[in-house]
Amino acid sequence: MLREPLYIVAGVRTPYSKMGTLFAGMAADELGRLATVELLARTGFDPARIEEVIFGCVAQPAESANVARVIALRSGIPQHVPAVTVHRNCASGFEAVTQAAEKIIAGRGDVFLAGGAESMSQVPLLYRDSAAKKFGTLARAKGLGNRVSAMLNFRPADFSPIIGLQLGLTDPVCGLNMGETAENVARDFGITREEQDQFSLRSHQRAIAARERLREEIVPVLLPAGKPGAPAVMQDDNGPRENQTMAALAKLKPVFERDTGTVTAGNASQITDGAVALLVMNEKGLKESGLQPLGKLVAYAYAGCDPSRMGLGPVFAIQAAQKKFGLGIKDADLIEINEAFAAQVIGCQRAARSDDFCRQHLGRESALGDIPDEILNVNGGAVALGHPVGSTGARLVLTALKELHRRKAKRALVSLCVGGGQGGALWVETA
Amino acid sequence: MANLHREVTASHVCVLTFDRPDSVANIFDEATFAELNAHLDFLASPEAREIKGVIFCSAKPKIFLAGADLIGFTKDPSMEKLERLIETGQQTFRRITMLPVPSVAAIHGLALGGGCEITLACDYRVASTSRETKIGLPEVQIGILPGWGGSTILPRLIGLPRALEVILGNKQLAAVPALKAGLVDAVGPRESLRELAEKQVIRGKRGSLPPQLMNLPPAAAFIARQARANVLAKTGGHYPAPLKALEVVIAALRGTVEQGFALEKKAFAELATGDVARHLIGIFLLQERSKKTRLPADLIAPAEAPRKIERVAVVGAGVMGAGIAQWLAARGTSVLLKDIAAEPLAIGMQSIRKLFRDGVQRRRFTGTEARAALDRIVPVAGDVPLRRVDLVIEAAVERLDLKQQIFRGLEAATAADVALATNTSALSIDAIAGALPDPSRVVGIHFFNPVHRMQLVEIVRGDRTSALALETALRFVKGIGKLPVIVRDRPGFLVNRILTPYLSEAGRLFQEGYAVADIDNALERFGMPMGPLRLIDEVGLDVGRHVATDLAARLTTPQGRPVPAMDEMIARKWFGKKSGQGFYVHAGKGKPTLNADVERLPGVAARRPADAKLFLDRLILPMINEAARVLEENVVEAPEDVDFGMIMGSGWAPFRGGPLRYADSLGAAKIVADLESLAGRFGESFRPSARLQSMAAGGRRFYP
């Protein structure tokens, strides 16, 4: 176990909103602020006592470099409290939490605000290099003649933008899009389209059934839009579909491999905006605060794997954590594995129970063990709820802890795969 | 005592720094002029041969020069004194212009009135880009006109259209707009002002100003006609100063500067000796008086200083709660805006966002400032810890049981020294404090609607309110830039108490068959910003009835007859502005139009011809009667409080000086006689109060 546990004292998140819908006009700092101010209001905690604010964010807004600092200041956290933004792709929300744990173990403070914020709606479109050069020439051009000739250099193609989001979801090392890595996993383990769609249907059904429960962790967002006198309030995630059917899922075309592929928009995570804020402390900070903790982080590990099969990252991380701290799948009352792709979560289940895979890739004598469907992602996962990449890690911790309380259970394993070929695994317990 | 310091720099520039002792402001009084003239004597003397230029600046952090000494002015408003005052200013400023060396005003902070005019006398002006810096000529607002050269020189410097915005419209320019307008020659940070000013000195004496196209006769005549029409539309002809100022500005354009100065002087003397200027200056002084409000003499100042108010919880996100939250956030205070559910919060936040958007559009804030302010408001649904809150302002629904319940929760949730304020406009503070273990924490802080426009705040002292709670409220209200008046916990406090008989009587006139437009027009002609029925629409018929019923139940004085026609309007949900119709139809942004349907309501008598004299008697005299009772019952301490409260809280005809100044102009005997006659014709509610009767008998006035 960690030399000093990290108490997760309280947490709040915004609803998760599909890209281009209700939060489309809000940047990551605004989403992070909404979660943070609600967290501070609900706990009544004096933000002057926070040692540092740590936020995960993958696509940092161009206008808020170090978005954590912007969130902190806009949330009324005094300016003497520093802030840092962390990035481990889809595990950025984990990274915020585990960095707080590391700082506490290193004796660098007692109280941290950790979280994740992401606006995937606002990932910018980019000009290609050739166009950028021409804009540079134009800006430097003096005199009308030079300016006109600089303008005449532009070609129509210069104005067709590169989609930043697509760029972010492509691994520059192996050259594959995230969806293509999921196709690899599906092929390796022979996971059919139907299995993936079944998994996805269940994710929606569980998320719909969990709506009331999830409200415990959500702050309703008072949207600036709406008619005068009847503004809109968003209090639930808008990803889960009440009437999701297998037939509807079956109609969708594979996105990444048109003809033979199995990964569709329906069995992949939704692209979403949202933010999470967690108040975390060591034992000393907790005692001084007088607050009741939600739970604690007792163990964690990150591990690397094949970037072209990044979806299997959780298995590697679970093994790494077991090696370091002795906790294995059997010790979990509840498991969350982020649903980047249905194929990849099913792949993790298959890999974990395969003696062969575990011998070959994890250096184990035998399989890691069974990840039972009954305790896996019981309130639905990213296929239904969505995956605002920088915030998801922190959400999984929050959602799992709340569920442990509801079940009066003790321990949860929370894991996710990371683009670039990594996995993260966190063990949390009720305090 | 030295108001002005002189220093000569190594480069032979003379720097004259205004620094009035023991004051945050610099003003022009006789002593300051004497000193200034002595320094000008020095500049003309052989000793000053080496001097290459002169720079005027201020040592105050927020004020360059705030203009003439109004208090000294009102103490002795004789014609002779006035003429001397004008002449001294004009001559002194002309001396500056005529100096053989260049003169520069280095403006940081407010440069208003005479403070602006001295800079106009200089060859050059430089201004700091600080937020504090504003240059303007607000004289017309207090019923006079710029008389130390402002009316003559400003149009020559920046052209007639812009000059009229400043002189008639009270537009005050920050550094950058002033630079664009041509009012100043350079701008920069406060720290670099001296350097900027010295650069102007090097430019040498300024030649004559280039001609302004808009000042030429055909354009000027056109602009003047437009301006005159605007002024008349705005003031209803009650205010002579803007018309006079316009006349002087236009006439001064046609002659020499000296002729312009003569015109200014003549017009100033005329205006300044009139009643309107006296009343308007009086209001200005009442505002200054309000800023200095202290605890009532019978209270001992609290032993410990009240908390610094950094975080306020506002309970209730309705119109008032949202308005208060917006004002506080804009002034830098953090606000926890609490309501029972997300939906009312969302409506409140929507109106707050709109206020900030409008503020950005009107350039009251920058976008960044507006967002920072909006971020200071944290809306929360349900109960959250309030341990870190420094003050609570409750603005929930006006129901006593509900408020009592809220205050029980608030008392337990907050620190023991936190004042618990209610924004109630009618309920008793003492009743709200009810059975709290510590009722002394409860105090009234009554804002008026719309919060961002109404400067007045009634601070209500309950019978059990502690000195600490009252002092907290007082400091808080002053700190957020509002003007407090301390009132006793009597029904309706000050403003609503006096306004209620007025509004109720207007309803009765309507019911008797007088036309809505006739009633409202008569009162607008009297000088009210809007007629009483229009005001009822603004307040809301339901709210108005609630206040009136509450007052009727708690006061022992006879009340007027009920108005079933208005009950019928409430039953039909014709609440006024908020529901889209009342006495008027309120659609969109334009001016509301008459609601023809109201005259067909059951109970409304057949149309009668307008009778303006009757309207004024039946509407204004009961207000005076009620104001006399307010003094009788010690709701406020002085007649000044009544007039100040009514002008600032209800817009009561400012140029008449307030209801009690107006009463003094009528005389108590006439008021009593008229009220007796009204009581005979229209009922006991008109019967003059004991105070008025004794005043009439003793020939006394409200004011000494």
- Residues of chain A with Cβ-Cβ distance to B347 below 8 Å are 229-231
B223 CB contacts (<8 Å, ≥6 apart)?
B160, B161, B164, B214
Residue B283 located in a structural domain:
no
Taking the C-alpha atoms of residue B631 and residue B637, their distance in angstroms, rounded to an integer, is: 7
Taking the C-alpha atoms of residue B175 and residue B126, their distance in angstroms, rounded to an integer, is: 8
Q: Is A358 a catalytic residue?
A: no
Do B473 and B339 share a structural domain?
yes
End position of a domain, from candidates B227, B249, B273? B273
pLDDT in tens, A323-335: 999 999 999 999 9
Do A274 and A316 share a structural domain?
yes
Do A414 and A274 share a structural domain?
yes
Q: What is the DSSP letter of A253?
A: P
pLDDT, average across residues B348-369: 93
Q: What is the DSSP letter of A5?
A: P
Do A103 and A17 share a structural domain?
yes
Q: Which residues of B10-31 are buried (b: 16+ CB within 10 A; e: fewer)?
A: eeebbbbbbebeeeebbbbbee
Say if residues B226 and B133 touch (Cβ distance below 8 Å). Answer: no
**Domain enclosing residue A141, as ranges:** 129-162
Tokens of B90: 């004009």
Taking the C-alpha atoms of residue B622 and residue B550, their distance in angstroms, rounded to an integer, is: 18
Contact with chain B for residue A224, Cβ under 8 A: yes
Element counts in chain A: helices (H) and strands (E): 16, 14
Our measurement of the distance from residue B256's CA atom to the centroid of its chain's CA atoms, rounded to an integer in Å, reads 37
B384: nearest CB among A42, A46, A228: A42
Contact with chain A for residue B384, Cβ under 8 A: yes
End position of a domain, from candidates B217, B245, B273? B273
- Residue B313 is predicted with a pLDDT of 98
User: Do the chains contact at B388 and A75, CB–CB below 8 Å?
Assistant: no
Tally A–B CB contacts below 8 A. Answer: 53
- Here the CATH number for the domain that contains residue A300 is 3.40.47.10
Do B160 and B51 share a structural domain?
yes
Residue B288 located in a structural domain:
no
User: Do the chains contact at B375 and A76, CB–CB below 8 Å?
Assistant: yes
Tokens of A244: 């999701």
Residue A405 located in a structural domain:
yes
Do A414 and A285 share a structural domain?
yes
End position of a domain, from candidates B218, B252, B273? B273
Say if residues B578 and B450 touch (Cβ distance below 8 Å). Answer: no
Element (H, E) at B522: helix B516-526
B230 CB contacts (<8 Å, ≥6 apart)?
B168
To the nearest whole percent, how much of chain B has pLDDT over 70? 100
A372 CB contacts (<8 Å, ≥6 apart)?
none
Do A409 and A318 share a structural domain?
yes
User: Do the chains contact at B343 and A233, CB–CB below 8 Å?
Assistant: yes
Taking the C-alpha atoms of residue B558 and residue B375, their distance in angstroms, rounded to an integer, is: 50
Is a pLDDT exceeding 70 seen at residue A229? no
Do B338 and B239 share a structural domain?
no
Measured at the CA of A294, the angle between CA A288 and CA A300, to 5 degrees, comes to: 100
Read off the amino acid at residue A93: G
Do B528 and B410 share a structural domain?
no
Tokens of B44: 């003309």
Is a pLDDT exceeding 60 seen at residue B643? yes
What stretches of B186-331 adopt beta strand conformation (E)? Answer: 186-188, 311-315
Structural domain total, chain A: 2
Tokens of A218: 């959500």
Q: Which of B105, B38, B113, B108 is nearest to B73 (CA)?
A: B113
Taking the C-alpha atoms of residue B85 and residue B95, their distance in angstroms, rounded to an integer, is: 16
Mean pLDDT over all residues of chain B?
94
- Here the CATH number for the domain that contains residue B626 is 1.10.1040.50
Taking the C-alpha atoms of residue B265 and residue B276, their distance in angstroms, rounded to an integer, is: 18
Mean pLDDT over all residues of chain A?
94
Do A144 and A55 share a structural domain?
no
Contact with chain A for residue B605, Cβ under 8 A: no
Do A414 and A300 share a structural domain?
yes
**Domain enclosing residue B8, as ranges:** 4-273
Q: Which pLDDT band, with edges at 50, 70 and 90, does A228 fall under?
A: low
B220 CB contacts (<8 Å, ≥6 apart)?
B160, B214, B250, B253
Do B654 and B587 share a structural domain?
yes
Burial class (CB in 10 A: 0-12, 13-18, 19+), A292: exposed
A41: nearest CB among B336, B349, B371: B336
* A416 DSSP β-pair partners: A424
Element (H, E) at B312: strand B311-315
Taking the C-alpha atoms of residue A425 and residue A304, their distance in angstroms, rounded to an integer, is: 12
Is a pLDDT exceeding 90 seen at residue A270? yes
Residue B301 located in a structural domain:
no
Q: Which of A199, A190, A189, A206 is nearest to A249 (CA)?
A: A199
Do A138 and A109 share a structural domain?
no
- Residue B388 is predicted with a pLDDT of 95
Is a pLDDT exceeding 70 seen at residue B217? yes
Is a pLDDT exceeding 90 seen at residue B561? no
Say if residues A218 and A233 touch (Cβ distance below 8 Å). Answer: no
Residue B498 located in a structural domain:
no
Backbone angles phi, psi at B302, to 5 degrees: -60, 145
- Residue B1 is predicted with a pLDDT of 56
Do A135 and A108 share a structural domain?
no
Structural domain total, chain B: 3
pLDDT in tens, A108-158: 999 999 999 999 998 887 778 878 888 888 888 888 888 888 888 888 777
pLDDT in tens, A339-364: 999 999 999 999 999 999 999 999 99
pLDDT, average across residues B320-343: 97
What stretches of A229-320 adopt beta strand conformation (E)? Answer: 230-234, 272-281, 295-304
The one catalytic residue among B108, B446, B452, B586: B446
Do B323 and B253 share a structural domain?
no
Q: Which pLDDT band, with edges at 50, 70 and 90, does B602 fall under?
A: confident
Choose from A14, A37, A39, A74 for mutation: most chain B CBs within 10 A: A37
pLDDT in tens, B449-478: 899 999 999 999 999 999 999 999 999 999
Burial class (CB in 10 A: 0-12, 13-18, 19+), B41: exposed
Say if residues A182 and A344 touch (Cβ distance below 8 Å). Answer: yes
Taking the C-alpha atoms of residue B316 and residue B107, their distance in angstroms, rounded to an integer, is: 44
Do A23 and A115 share a structural domain?
yes
User: Do the chains contact at B345 and A74, CB–CB below 8 Å?
Assistant: no
Contact with chain B for residue A78, Cβ under 8 A: no
- Here the CATH number for the domain that contains residue B94 is 3.90.226.10
- Residue A128 is predicted with a pLDDT of 80
Measured at the CA of A160, the angle between CA A157 and CA A161, to 5 degrees, comes to: 135
Tokens of A260: 């033979």
Read off the amino acid at residue A152: L
Say if residues B341 and B391 touch (Cβ distance below 8 Å). Answer: no
Residue B120 located in a structural domain:
yes
Tell which wins on pLDDT, A75 or B80.
A75
| Residue B100: cis peptide before it, omega within 30 degrees of 0 | no
- Residue B257 is predicted with a pLDDT of 93
Choose from B355, B377, B388, B578 for mutation: most chain A CBs within 10 A: B388
- Residues of chain B with Cβ-Cβ distance to A228 below 8 Å are 350
B186 CB contacts (<8 Å, ≥6 apart)?
B124, B126, B127, B179, B196, B199, B200
**Residue carrying the six token digits 């979403």:** A272
Q: Is A297 helix (H, G, I), strand (E, B) or coil?
A: strand
User: Do the chains contact at B384 and A231, CB–CB below 8 Å?
Assistant: no
Taking the C-alpha atoms of residue B244 and residue B434, their distance in angstroms, rounded to an integer, is: 56
Tokens of B646: 């009514």
Do A145 and A24 share a structural domain?
no
pLDDT, average across residues B382-386: 94
Taking the C-alpha atoms of residue A137 and residue A147, their distance in angstroms, rounded to an integer, is: 9
Do B529 and B404 share a structural domain?
no
Segment among A412-416, B147-151, B262-266, B602-606 with least mean pLDDT: B602-606
pLDDT in tens, B125-158: 999 999 999 999 999 999 999 999 999 999 999 9
Residue B686 located in a structural domain:
yes
Residue B302 located in a structural domain:
no
B358 CB contacts (<8 Å, ≥6 apart)?
none
Read off the amino acid at residue A117: A
Burial class (CB in 10 A: 0-12, 13-18, 19+), A333: middle
Do A147 and A49 share a structural domain?
no
Do B429 and B374 share a structural domain?
yes
- Residues of chain B with Cβ-Cβ distance to A76 below 8 Å are 334, 375-376, 378
- Residue B243 is predicted with a pLDDT of 95
Beta-carbon count within 10 A of B605 CB: 12
Do B95 and B21 share a structural domain?
yes
Do B513 and B457 share a structural domain?
no
Q: Is A361 a catalytic residue?
A: no
Q: Which of A116, A151, A157 is nearest to A137 (CA)?
A: A151
Contact with chain B for residue A37, Cβ under 8 A: yes
- Residue B139 is predicted with a pLDDT of 94
- Residue B72 is predicted with a pLDDT of 75
- Residue A133 is predicted with a pLDDT of 84
Q: Order of strands, edge to edge, in the sheet holding B4-8?
A: B4-8, B13-18, B53-58, B103-107, B124-128, B186-188
- Residue B116 is predicted with a pLDDT of 97
Tell which wins on pLDDT, A149 or B486.
B486
Is a pLDDT exceeding 80 seen at residue A225? no
Our measurement of the distance from residue A352's CA atom to the centroid of its chain's CA atoms, rounded to an integer in Å, reads 22
pLDDT in tens, B644-696: 999 999 999 999 999 999 999 999 999 999 999 999 999 999 999 999 999 99
The one catalytic residue among A57, A90, A305, A358: A90
Which string of DSSP letters, residue by residue, matches A215-231?
HTTBPPEEEEEEETTEE
